[in-house]
Structure 1
Amino acid sequence: MGYCEQPRWPLNSKVDLSSGFGDVRPGRFHAGVDLRTGGKTGVRVYSSVDGYVWRIKMSYRGSGKGLYIKGTDGKIYVFYHLSRFNEEIRRAVRKAQNRAGRYYVDLYFPSDSIPVHRGQFVAYSGITGTKAPHLHFEVRSPENRPINPLSNGYSLDDRQRPVFERIGIQLVDDHSLLPYGKRRALLPVHGTGKRGNYQLDSVLYLSSPFGVLADCYDRMRQGGMRQSVYKLTLAIDGRQYYMSAFDSLAFELGPLVELEYDHKSIASGKKRVRRLFHETGNSYFGSRAFGEHGGVVGSYGEISEGLHEAVITAEDNFENKSELHFKFLWGPPAQSKPPASMSDGTLELGYQVVEDGLIVTAETTSDVFLEVYGGNQRLGSESTGRLCDDGRFRFFMPPRSEYRQVDSLVVRSIIGGQILGSLPLTLAAVGYEDNETFAVGNSIVIQGGHDNFYRPRFIAVEQVTDMPTTVELNSASFRILPEVFVTRDEFGISLALSPEAKYADRSGLCWWDDRENEWIWIDEDSRDNSRVAGPSNGGGLFASLFDIAPPTIKKLNVREGQTLKTLRPLIEFILEDDLSGIEDDRNIDIRINGQWLIPEYHPATGQCVAEPYELLKPGKCLLTIDITDRAGNRIELSRTFYVE
């Protein structure tokens, strides 16, 4: 690419984005931009630069068919979800796959093997590894770090200002609650009538250190797809306080997406709520505070009592801006204790495990405190609570090392120490040691340690009897709380199979997906006929299910005894499996006369296609298909046909 030459988009059509750089993906940031292809596959893709084919990666999931071009400028240009390569690249890939006996290959090429020039046709767009047709496009630095194309010369006709929908407040100390008994709140905002200006009508009264959340989005055209905002800046009383911008990323920092964004909002489908303060463990280099406060308001005494005005500025890459204005009154803590009184009844108690602790609710008007018990021993007490706007008394209880395993909470009256109520629960503070085990008898065992969590936290376990489906289980079912939380790395879960369990060798650990209303098989094939086990990066409902149904093959395009007028027939069929699913290409074996065929499978559609690497000899042929799912169920099929 010449020194003054404008960077070239890989499609010839007008660029329309469906996803932006830095958007949320499960467990990572979106490292590129997604270009719409009109809902179809087979759109021609062109090289953005002069260079050579540096790498090709093939898989059923994730990037699908991926092409990497190293430019003469030293940068790496990446194209994902392709349907086909040009003929020269296709031949090189098929040769390597046939030699390896695998569809999954990760190939690197020398600089003189497959040269390309700017504007050269290299592939067709597709749907491989994903569910909707589009082209994923990345630009990476010579050090293989993703950089934002829109910050590096790739232009768009974008005249749309970012849009604010809500502002959030997150308390960050170890004891405070908002007036309605929560640690966080997201409040709707509205436009002022002036283009690009938004405001929160009410003035917030705050007395405890807090961080700000911003729910906002950007799009490049009216009615276009929503993306995350490129840059957000928080200012208080005219001084910059915190800034977050997506100019570049690093793959090793991918899990930080749930710290840069608000993870609870992600789980509810609102994937563009950003934190404008430093969360413990977040080392993303695109965010920074202007001071030692880390973006937390009121943490270092830098905010004086009185009225303050804050502004959040949202900017895209093309100088379109919007502002959200809100005011807050900073003052001393409000009266948090109810009037002293006595109660002679048993209290109704409840609890909620939140990201940074436990909120305990007591239906009382008494002046009370909380005692924490484990193994019939008193572990500690919590006395900081408040009477909330709904008339309930609530405590916030942070995780402490002495609360490693809690089995009951007791509420006592401060006057006389009378027990007003107790609450049995199964709760543990985790994240203190290298290896920790949290078990409920032998039924469920959770294993992790401080390397699995960014900071110590509570995990609770509840046995569930009211199941969302009538499917037969092979174990007791348990809900791990909170159902959504941030982890540094996956932790382990194992369940004991019931004594009367059926098909133990076909059982696996499963997680219930509330949004899709289906069980997800997460077993890691560590079954020993008495337990199932697997990794998890959060809570929710877990149980052991069995899968005894083999995969099914439908719409096979070769009939018994059929004559095909080609020596390289394309084999096509639909592959379906109910629960455990197909792991990878090693579970699909397709052969003609013993010759292995490269199996191309699309999990989203079930389509499976394959063709011989070498031309067949005219005459009678035997097609065999052998497929095994992750539970070990197997289907075998054969067809005799003829080619000429």
Structure 2
Amino acid sequence: MFPIKPGERNYLSGTMGEIRSNHFHGGLDIKTEQRTGLPVHAAADGYVSRVKQSSYGYGNIVYITHPNGLVTTYAHLQEYYKPLADFMLQKQYEKQVFDLELFPEPGQFPVKRGDVIGLSGNTGGSGGPHLHFEIRDKEDRLYNPLKYKFKEVIDTTPPDIYSLGISPLNIHARVNNEFSREEYRTKQVGTNYSISDTIYANGLIGLELQTIDRLDGAANKNGTQEVTLLVNGEQLYNHYIDKVPFELSRQVSQHINYNQYKMRGRTFQKAFVDYGNDLPLYKARERDGRIVVQSDSVYKIQLVARDSYNNTSTLTFIIKGQRPTFTKTVAAVKKPAIDYEIVGNVLKISATDTSSTPQNIELYVGKQALMLVPSYMKNSTSVSLYDLRAGLPDSMRFCGLSTDFNLQQMVPPAKDFLFTNRNMKVLFDKETLYDTLYLQTRLDGDVYTIGDYFTPLHKAIKVTITPPTQVKDKSKAAVYFLGTGRGRGYTGGKWEGNSITFTTKNMGKFKVMEDSKEPYIRLVSKNRNGISFKISDDLSGINSFNAWVDGKWILMKYEHKTATIWSEKLDNSTPLSGEVILKVKDNAGNEATYTSRI
């Protein structure tokens, strides 16, 4: 049974398989008329096997286990149905905590199909009122709920195909005679899409597709469940986003072009299985869907996008095989310049100079000097390529210019690996990396840079640093992730002497900072029926809060989106009376106390 307004027309704001920052969206986001409080119905007979209350993530969530072994989940609830709500409240008072996860016995809370098990809400990480509904199996794999073809949801709208991405996948490959990723906007006629440009390529290439799906009557951009690649009429690759193992959901980072997602917010799904991707979503032939383009050959490419209701759209285009050529171009250049980037295993060096003949790059690998001959030219820029697996270069020289690479270590995937230098220790778990990492680190003042923000990690790295300046109070000091802007995310850490060790699933910039300021408390209301406050912290963030009335602990519920806490009495027939004490502690251990009387 559909869990919201069963038998009536419903609308979705999210579907299975949408790309989120570090996971696939695991179910349906069902609209609730932009309000909270709609009855939520059990999808089938079963029993409540798990219930959790939290200010983050799923918020208030109920798990129902069914006789066939499937589990349905109902998240962001405003409240639970009465027997379960009383059970949760009693346990919260016994343990004197707000965040709590419980696992009732199988016969404790039986439910029948259609029973109301709660009211829809906006709790946890929800961005607005809705019900998040999932279906899982015994192995915690996420199923696509739309495979049940609910009549409450109408979808006759085919997916949209916005753009195509094409990348060379080794040092010998080219796209339009360049070692460069290219993007193409599509042209649409009905459900057929095309590309107006002629695409030339050579060698091993990979395709990416930017596609979204829409459902009838809603403008939301939803996920497209299935993509199929055909080359000259033969299927080379297919993915269908269903049965996603919960513990592997983070591997969405390899399913998409992670760099483009982080830099531009654009989601390109790869039409090949990239290294380190173990998701069981793919059917791929040789080379895991990568295409080998031969010179003077023509390839008819079709990328078919299909949604859960079998609506399809097809992008068709031609790739022509073209042997790489070197064409010298002349353009006015006032002074020499040189730059580089790392693309996979390839060091790509771009250089301009005033000479009419492109100059070689002097590359220094240890004590050996190599002369890199340009591979091709684009306008006035010559491009030279070097395979980093041949040895990490220290520096390069070009027309009197010198550049140090700061490439400190080639870190292999699928191995435990410890990197150390005078500034830090970084431990990589065997499941941390998807592919080989060419690690760059540095210390600028008191800011540590480890790799870059645009490289995904599957499991956390463990880092030990010793701040260059003395920390006044280690009990108030912790590591913060600086990201790419002005944000400061509390990461934490444990001090041993003058060094601090922390774990993180992000690479980028980190800094040790001290938080000596206590949290902020503001009374919103107090009376004999309840109390409420606004609480916040300017750096490390809220860690805990506890309140007492007349010496007795009282449950305070927390909504982080509004920075509000409010009381819920165990016995509503007893009015609040006496001294009120609220203590709020941040992650640095600073504590604020509010006292009053009712």
Listed as ranges, the matches of 1:510-589 within 5 Å are 510-514=480-484, 517-528=485-496, 530-558=498-526, 564=528, 569-583=529-543, 587-589=544-546
Distance 1:449 1:53, change over 3 A: closer
Is 1:189 the counterpart of 2:186 in the alignment? yes
1:250 is aligned to 245
2:320 is aligned to 329
Structure 2 gap ranges (5+): none
SS for the counterpart of 2:431 is helix
Distance 1:395 1:530, change over 3 A: farther
Kept in 2: contact 1:357–1:457 (CA 8 A): no
Distance 1:446 1:42, change over 3 A: same
Question: How far did 1:146 drift?
Answer: 1.3
Is 1:147 the counterpart of 2:143 in the alignment? yes
Distance 1:596 1:396 in 2: 67
Distance 2:111 2:135 in 1: 16
SS for the counterpart of 1:24 is coil
1:455 is aligned to 435
2:419 is aligned to 437
Distance 1:481 1:358, change over 3 A: farther
1:157 is aligned to 154
Is 1:315 the counterpart of 2:306 in the alignment? yes
Q: Deviations over 1:354-411 (max 9, x none)?
A: 454432222244342442345xx34x747464233232122333442742xx542345
> Aligned partner of 1:600: which letter?
K
Distance 2:472 2:428 in 1: 29
SS for the counterpart of 1:89 is helix
Distance 1:454 1:189 in 2: 31
Is 1:134 the counterpart of 2:142 in the alignment? no
SS for the counterpart of 1:255 is helix
- 1:169 alignment partner, one of 166, 183, 190: 166
Distance 1:519 1:182, change over 3 A: farther
Kept in 1: contact 2:225–2:306 (CA 8 A): yes
Kept in 2: contact 1:507–1:532 (CA 8 A): no
Question: How far did 1:178 drift?
Answer: 4.5
Distance 1:388 1:438 in 2: 39
Q: Deviations over 1:14-33 (max 9, x none)?
A: 32111110112232221111
> Aligned partner of 1:629: which letter?
D
Is 1:508 the counterpart of 2:485 in the alignment? no
Residue correspondences, number: 588
Kept in 2: contact 1:349–1:362 (CA 8 A): yes
2:233 is aligned to 238
1:22 is aligned to 17
1:282 is aligned to 277
SS for the counterpart of 2:254 is helix
1:469 is aligned to none
Distance 1:408 1:93 in 2: 62
Is 1:604 the counterpart of 2:564 in the alignment? no
Kept in 1: contact 2:208–2:268 (CA 8 A): yes
Kept in 1: contact 2:325–2:376 (CA 8 A): no
Distance 1:294 1:361 in 2: 31
1:361 is aligned to 350
SS for the counterpart of 1:278 is coil
Distance 1:76 1:184, change over 3 A: same
Distance 1:511 1:62 in 2: 20
Distance 2:364 2:76 in 1: 53
Question: How far did 1:113 drift?
Answer: 0.9
Distance 1:513 1:482 in 2: 10
Kept in 2: contact 1:82–1:125 (CA 8 A): yes
Is 1:100 the counterpart of 2:81 in the alignment? no
Distance 2:497 2:540 in 1: 17
Is 1:294 the counterpart of 2:283 in the alignment? no
Which stretch of the first structure deviates more once superposed, 36-45 or 520-529?
520-529
> Aligned partner of 2:541: which letter?
G
Is 1:492 the counterpart of 2:472 in the alignment? no
Distance 1:19 1:614, change over 3 A: same
SS for the counterpart of 1:38 is coil
SS for the counterpart of 1:509 is strand
Distance 2:538 2:507 in 1: 24
Kept in 2: contact 1:309–1:325 (CA 8 A): yes
Distance 1:531 1:205, change over 3 A: same
1:414 is aligned to none
SS for the counterpart of 2:511 is strand
Distance 1:430 1:621 in 2: 64
Q: Deviations over 1:12-71 (max 9, x none)?
A: 453211111011223222111111223322222111112211111222211111101112
Distance 1:335 1:613, change over 3 A: same
1:75 is aligned to 70
SS for the counterpart of 2:52 is strand
% identical aligned pairs? 21
- 1:212 alignment partner, one of 207, 210, 213: 207
Distance 2:344 2:217 in 1: 37
Kept in 2: contact 1:83–1:126 (CA 8 A): yes
> Aligned partner of 1:408: which letter?
S
Runs of 4+ in 1 over 4 A off after TM superposition: 175-182, 478-481, 500-504, 614-620
Distance 1:181 1:450 in 2: 34
Question: How far did 1:339 drift?
Answer: 9.2
2:34 is aligned to 39
Question: How far did 1:500 drift?
Answer: 5.5
Q: Deviations over 1:577-606 (max 9, x none)?
A: 1121123xxx11112233222332122221
Listed as ranges, the matches of 1:306-455 within 5 Å are 306-335=297-326, 347-364=336-353, 365-374=357-366, 377-378=367-368, 381=370, 383=372, 385-400=374-389, 402-403=391-392, 407-411=394-398, 421-432=401-412, 434-439=416-421, 441-442=422-423, 444-448=424-428, 450-455=430-435
Distance 1:488 1:215, change over 3 A: same
SS for the counterpart of 2:132 is strand
Question: How far did 1:229 drift?
Answer: 0.7
Question: How far did 1:616 drift?
Answer: 8.2
> Aligned partner of 1:390: which letter?
N
1:590 is aligned to 547
Q: Deviations over 1:141-187 (max 9, x none)?
A: 24432110111343421111111110000211145454586532222
Distance 2:590 2:390 in 1: 46
> Aligned partner of 2:352: which letter?
E
Is 1:483 the counterpart of 2:443 in the alignment? no
Distance 1:524 1:104 in 2: 20
Distance 1:619 1:252 in 2: 45
Kept in 1: contact 2:416–2:430 (CA 8 A): yes
Distance 1:180 1:420 in 2: 29
Distance 1:435 1:457, change over 3 A: closer
SS for the counterpart of 1:599 is strand
Which stretch of the first structure deviates more once superposed, 264-273 or 203-212?
264-273
Distance 1:481 1:359, change over 3 A: farther
SS for the counterpart of 2:259 is helix
Q: Deviations over 1:105-124 (max 9, x none)?
A: 22112222111111111111
SS for the counterpart of 1:359 is strand
2:51 is aligned to 56
**TM-score normalised to structure 2 length:** 0.90
CA RMSD of aligned residues (A): 2.8
Is 1:630 the counterpart of 2:587 in the alignment? yes
Distance 1:624 1:65 in 2: 26
Structure 1 gap ranges (5+): 1-6, 412-418, 465-474
